[in-house]
Amino acid sequence: MAGESTTTMSNGLLYNKMYAITEDAIDTSNGHSIDLSGYKDDKVVIIVRATLVTGDSVLTIEAGDKSAASQGDLDIAFGDGVPSTQQVVLESARFKDADEKVTISWVGAGALAGSIMAINRP
């Protein structure tokens, strides 16, 4: 997807240490990309906080172009009128493209507002 919004990667590498997490606004029109270059082991937690959901919406974490991509996309549903916070832990071999990015897109009948966060997992 060209022109997607960049989702900030927050650090979370050490145990027993507090880290600030950057919340980026959900961009349903352009989707998001998360740049994993420079992160060891490429494990990431994605948290989506949907504060307004009108109509059913689906977040799709798109399969990358590496060997594990054959497992396909990962879809996470957000139901009509049900604000929620959902998280997923990714192992990037399935989702990372050759440019070291993970791409997220949205489809749905209504509006979705809230925030998306990405945290490097130890």
Partnered with residue 107 across adjacent β-strands are 58
Q: What are phi and psi of 14, to 5 degrees?
A: -110, 140
Rounded mean pLDDT of 9-35?
82
**Three-class secondary structure of residue 26 per DSSP:** coil
Q: Please give the C-alpha separations between residue 41 and each of 11, 12, 26, 69, in angstroms, as whole numbers.
A: 13, 13, 26, 17
CA distance 90 to 81: 27
What is the amino acid identity at position 113? A
Task: Tell which CATH classification among 2.60.120, 1.10.10, 2.40.128, 3.40.50 matches the domain 5-120.
Answer: 2.60.120
Residues of the chain with pLDDT > 70, as a percent, come to: 91
Tokens for 35, please give them.
């740049």
Residue-wise pLDDT tens digits, 41-74: 667 889 999 888 888 888 899 998 877 778 899 9
Query: Within a 10 A sphere around the Cβ of 32, how many other Cβ atoms?
Result: 26
pTM for the structure as a whole = 0.82
pLDDT number for residue 4: 76
pLDDT of residue 116: 92
- pLDDT, residue 1, reads 47
